[in-house]
Structure 1
Amino acid sequence: MNQAKQKADCADIPGCIRSLSNVERLFLWSFQTNIAVAARITGDIDERNLERALDAVCHMHPLTRCRIVFDEHHDAWFSRQSVPRATLRIVPRTSDSQWFDEIRREYGVPFELEIGPLIRFVLVYSPKVSELMAFSEHCICDGTALANLMRDLLNCYANPKKEVQVISPPVITDYLKKEGGFSIPKIIGKFFINHYNNQWQKNPYYITQEDFNKIHAAYWEKYRYSIVFLQLEPEESSDLVARCRENEVTIGSALTTAFLAAYHEVIGPLPKNKKTISIPFDLRRHLENDIGECFCFLTGGFNFPFAYDQKKSFWKNAADLHKIIQKRVEMLDNSGLDMEAFDPTLIDAFFNLAPYIKIVPDAYNQTENLSAFANDKKSAALKISNNAVSKLPGLTTTNLGHLDFPEIYGSLRLDRLFLVPSAGENIPLILGGAGVCGKIVFSLNYLEQKNSNNPPPTRDMIRIRNIALEYLGFPEKANESLM
């Protein structure tokens, strides 16, 4: 849809917030890209006060209480009309790792896009220590937005009388860098996109909630989501900061390089077609104009070739990686998100229908729409998807960096924050990290295939985490637990 028309068109959508950009559309039907944040909190959380704070923060950020409306042209819109309150599920806390079992449970429950909301909350409660989690559709937020939401929720809890102001969510396409001028590759790319759009529009397929639910159920019946964590306490975090400064790299570059080097030792070098790294970054921090800490998807992203060079030292590899990332971020490189020329329903299909035909083929026998799509061998979506899957990176790192959050919220204290990105069967290394209150936590996210004759990858993932700790200078922290 022409984004310039969205204000006028929005008037026809009850409760309209705005339309989805094609970047957001990419994640709309994608259960594999859901994202979660968990805050470990000390102090006794009052359920009634937490529910009141949740209502306040959902008023502040419109996309926390929205649903999707599809118009007659199959354009998608965020709407606040007739959306239920965000759910808060409360379960008794029995261990430090129980919260992860609850995240895994959330992955098994699909979002009802046309009912909403597109975010759920869980409190794993005990009187002394609890974990408060937000589990969300990626189309309404990124990792930074979800972490900030957790901070806002705790602020509302601690300050019940403070009036909250609504922060409208901007659209990412207003802030993505647009390349101008003549470019042969750009012309060729536009030609092929138009060709695929025209081919698709002659015989399109539109995803339904039923289709989505069938694929979702089949996928999570086959796979189990798992995580291994690397955690550094304040003194250890300070030591790492000092080492990184000495070697002129960021913590994110050092940790990414450490996991890449460890993977090389445990599994071997990444396959030839996987020697690529993907880096998403927070656009809010790099825009010239301050747009506030809005809750929405506002992330740039880029891919680049990189392989760990065993002939160089660990810190030299980290420095090489850091220079590439720094240059790309300074350019506000968003080449990995150039989607606006595609028909949005084609995006739905090539990103969220086509990739799963080979992974869970039985799901495509369960609705007429899925069966017809899977048997249409000439579909433009299949051609684009096959090419896109072959170019997926070998490693992706979502690092929120140091978040300057308060530690105290009334009677509560924020202990640490866990960023939990998704995992995928086609990307060997998926990392997520954040630092708050002097503590750094990175997660290594992966899938276990159920009912497989092969041993689960958990043992290798723990070894990768332990060897990464050695590279970073903390060999004494190696252990056999997931946490």
Structure 2
Amino acid sequence: MKRNLLFLERVLFGNGSEPFHGVYALKINGQLNQGQLRTALARLQEKYAMLRTAIGIDATGLPFFHTPPSRPDIPLRIVERADDDDWNRETVRELGTSFDIKNGPLLRITWIRSAEVSDLIMAFHHCMCDGGSGVALLNDLLTLLDDLQAEIGKAPAFRNIRDLIPAELLHNRRNRFKAKFSAALVHAGLSLGSLFISTKRKSGPRSGGPRTGDYLVNWKLGSEQSKALFRQCKKEGVTVNTAIGLALMEAFKAINGPGAHGKATCPVDIRRYMPEVKRDMLFSYGLALNIGLKQAFGNSFWEKAKTLQIHVSKQMARLDPYEFTMIMEASHRSVHKLRRFLTYAKVGNDFMFSNMGKLDIPAQFRHFTVETIYSPTVIGPFANPNTIITTTFKGQMDFSFVSNQEFMQRATAMQIREKAMEILFETVFIPDSVRL
């Protein structure tokens, strides 16, 4: 396999030296075997061609995925389990530890083991894989750990943009002109903006060398709390994503005061709009919505949520993955300017928030039980590292909030967490016995 990185893959890759990773962590009750785990990882590589790749740089400086002559195995690191917080510490370690880009692969596993309980940490480079792809990888890995002979098929992989965009759209003269024109506007805007950016006043994770100061705050809602929230959102005609996003923005404003921006970015799974990206195709980027407190009007929380939902729904209806991808692919000359802007420009929003919904992964296998799956985490070198992701597993919503001490103190993140949950559940009926 060999192909050039797409534009947004290049943005996530950078120069390959700085970690920009996604990490999944889960807790398993039951015995795991080292030999079986290594065999399962080998079979995972057989299914997914991308798990056999490294990244090279051609003579013109462009990065490309390729399969090395001697395929490296997926690294497996084993840590003896000491307590229930090991997974958090190891997740943070994986977020800040670079991959061997030159030799690959771009995925690794940490097994935190004990006789009856294990934590598995799966880390991947974001330029290869997103959270949705991570669900497919986890599902296959667990299936193989339960039965090494299980049939998991072969994952599709795209070779270039022609595999993602229908020919009638890709070769349409109007579409091509619009993409080039939009790319030119992007380049001009970034060129102008770069004149006012100083690399000396960067806040957040430091560039160059091992990144330190990352942290992860994780919490869960009980089953009854989760059900109550789902019911309330359905009753009000508001998505869970919109309700939580609003509560988080109000919490940032309440805790940070004038320092809050009242804005957030919400990724959208591109698979919902682009059927060419299959469920088990490793893909790295999605679409995005922008939400803000200025779009939330009303006297009560749910009145505000309803007006914000109208804004969100209008944005969702306008999303076009084909046009977006064509514009991005016409923008390759701007990749370094965009990374400079994302890394050093003044921060304009408070956080990135993603609700991935219910995880399509079984809890019960024949030989073990998945007690919990923690919401995935992702952090990179950009100016604002605040990222909040939530998932639902076994009827419980799980939240992961990652940031960096140089940008926001962990104590502040904890205050925001408490305030957001207070705002969110202020008018949601929950029996006193199961309240936070």
Tell me the TM-score normalised to structure 2 length.
0.81
Q: Cα distance 1:265–1:290, how it changes in 2: closer, same or farther (>3 A)?
A: closer
Structure 1 residue corresponding to 2:209, chosen from 211, 217, 226: 217
Structure 2 residue corresponding to 1:243, chosen from 232, 252, 258: 232
Residues 138-147 or 243-252, more deviating: 243-252
Q: Does 2:60 align with 1:73? A: yes
1:270 deviates by: 5.2
Secondary structure, counterpart of 1:135 in structure 2:
strand
Secondary structure, counterpart of 2:213 in structure 1:
strand
CA distance in 1 between counterparts of 2:176 and 2:293 reads 26
Do 1:90 and 1:124's aligned partners in 2 also have CA atoms closer than 8 Å? yes
Residues 323-332 or 84-93, more deviating: 323-332
CA distance in 2 between counterparts of 1:387 and 1:67 reads 25
Q: Cα distance 1:293–1:434, how it changes in 2: closer, same or farther (>3 A)?
A: same
Secondary structure, counterpart of 2:25 in structure 1:
strand
| CA deviation vs aligned residue, 1:283-331 (integer Å, no higher than 9, x gap) | 2233356734212225222435544758532222222333333333343
Structure 2 residue corresponding to 1:229, chosen from 203, 209, 218: 218
Q: Cα distance 1:477–1:70, how it changes in 2: closer, same or farther (>3 A)?
A: farther
Q: Which amino acid aligns with 1:92?
A: E
Residue in structure 1 matched with residue 45 of structure 2 by the alignment:
58
Secondary structure, counterpart of 2:257 in structure 1:
coil
In structure 2, the gaps of 5 or more residues are: 193-205
Q: Does 2:350 align with 1:394? A: yes
Secondary structure, counterpart of 2:405 in structure 1:
strand
| CA deviation vs aligned residue, 1:105-131 (integer Å, no higher than 9, x gap) | 223322221211111111112233322
| CA deviation vs aligned residue, 1:79-133 (integer Å, no higher than 9, x gap) | 1222311111111122222111112222332222121111111111223332211
Tell me the TM-score normalised to structure 1 length.
0.74
CA distance in 2 between counterparts of 1:416 and 1:89 reads 21
CA distance in 1 between counterparts of 2:134 and 2:153 reads 18
Residue in structure 2 matched with residue 435 of structure 1 by the alignment:
392
Secondary structure, counterpart of 1:235 in structure 2:
helix
In structure 1, the gaps of 5 or more residues are: 1-15, 200-213, 355-384, 451-455
Q: Cα distance 1:184–1:292, how it changes in 2: closer, same or farther (>3 A)?
A: closer
Residues 284-293 or 185-194, more deviating: 185-194
Structure 2 residue corresponding to 1:446, chosen from 392, 403, 409: 403
Q: Does 2:143 align with 1:143? A: no
Residue in structure 1 matched with residue 141 of structure 2 by the alignment:
153
Secondary structure, counterpart of 1:268 in structure 2:
helix
Q: Which amino acid aligns with 1:264?
A: K
Structure 2 residue corresponding to 1:414, chosen from 346, 352, 370: 370
- Percent sequence identity over aligned pairs: 22
Do 1:392 and 1:426's aligned partners in 2 also have CA atoms closer than 8 Å? no
Secondary structure, counterpart of 2:149 in structure 1:
coil
Residues 171-180 or 62-71, more deviating: 171-180
Residue in structure 2 matched with residue 7 of structure 1 by the alignment:
none
Do 1:303 and 1:393's aligned partners in 2 also have CA atoms closer than 8 Å? no
Residue in structure 2 matched with residue 20 of structure 1 by the alignment:
5
Superposition pairs for residues 455-470 of structure 1, below 5 Å? 457-470=409-422
Residue in structure 1 matched with residue 202 of structure 2 by the alignment:
none
1:23 deviates by: 1.5
Aligned residues: 407
Do 1:43 and 1:411's aligned partners in 2 also have CA atoms closer than 8 Å? yes
| CA deviation vs aligned residue, 1:47-84 (integer Å, no higher than 9, x gap) | 22111111111211111221012222333221122231
Do 1:40 and 1:129's aligned partners in 2 also have CA atoms closer than 8 Å? yes
1:256 deviates by: 1.6
Q: Cα distance 1:109–1:427, how it changes in 2: closer, same or farther (>3 A)?
A: closer
Do 2:297 and 2:307's aligned partners in 1 also have CA atoms closer than 8 Å? no
1:198 deviates by: 12
Residues 427-436 or 50-59, more deviating: 427-436
Residues 183-192 or 120-129, more deviating: 183-192
Superposition pairs for residues 95-134 of structure 1, below 5 Å? 95-134=83-122
Secondary structure, counterpart of 1:83 in structure 2:
coil
CA distance in 2 between counterparts of 1:150 and 1:247 reads 34
1:182 deviates by: 8.8
Q: Which amino acid aligns with 2:12?
A: F
CA distance in 2 between counterparts of 1:180 and 1:440 reads 46
Q: Cα distance 1:107–1:290, how it changes in 2: closer, same or farther (>3 A)?
A: closer
CA distance in 1 between counterparts of 2:282 and 2:313 reads 25
CA distance in 1 between counterparts of 2:145 and 2:104 reads 24
CA distance in 1 between counterparts of 2:44 and 2:292 reads 41
Residues 305-314 or 408-417, more deviating: 305-314
Do 2:136 and 2:279's aligned partners in 1 also have CA atoms closer than 8 Å? no
Q: Which amino acid aligns with 1:412?
A: F
Residue in structure 2 matched with residue 256 of structure 1 by the alignment:
245
CA distance in 2 between counterparts of 1:171 and 1:257 reads 39
1:186 deviates by: 7.1
CA distance in 2 between counterparts of 1:35 and 1:387 reads 18
1:189 deviates by: 4.2
1:190 deviates by: 4.0
| CA deviation vs aligned residue, 1:233-273 (integer Å, no higher than 9, x gap) | 322221211111111122222222221111111112555xx
Do 1:466 and 1:478's aligned partners in 2 also have CA atoms closer than 8 Å? no
Residue in structure 1 matched with residue 201 of structure 2 by the alignment:
none
Superposition pairs for residues 314-393 of structure 1, below 5 Å? 314-333=301-320, 338-343=327-332, 346-347=334-335, 349-352=336-339, 354=340, 385=341, 389-390=345-346, 392-393=348-349
CA distance in 1 between counterparts of 2:291 and 2:316 reads 12
Do 1:110 and 1:216's aligned partners in 2 also have CA atoms closer than 8 Å? no
Structure 2 residue corresponding to 1:86, chosen from 58, 65, 74: 74
Q: Which amino acid aligns with 1:231?
A: K
Secondary structure, counterpart of 1:113 in structure 2:
coil
CA distance in 1 between counterparts of 2:189 and 2:302 reads 45
Q: Which amino acid aligns with 1:434?
A: T
Do 1:301 and 1:336's aligned partners in 2 also have CA atoms closer than 8 Å? no
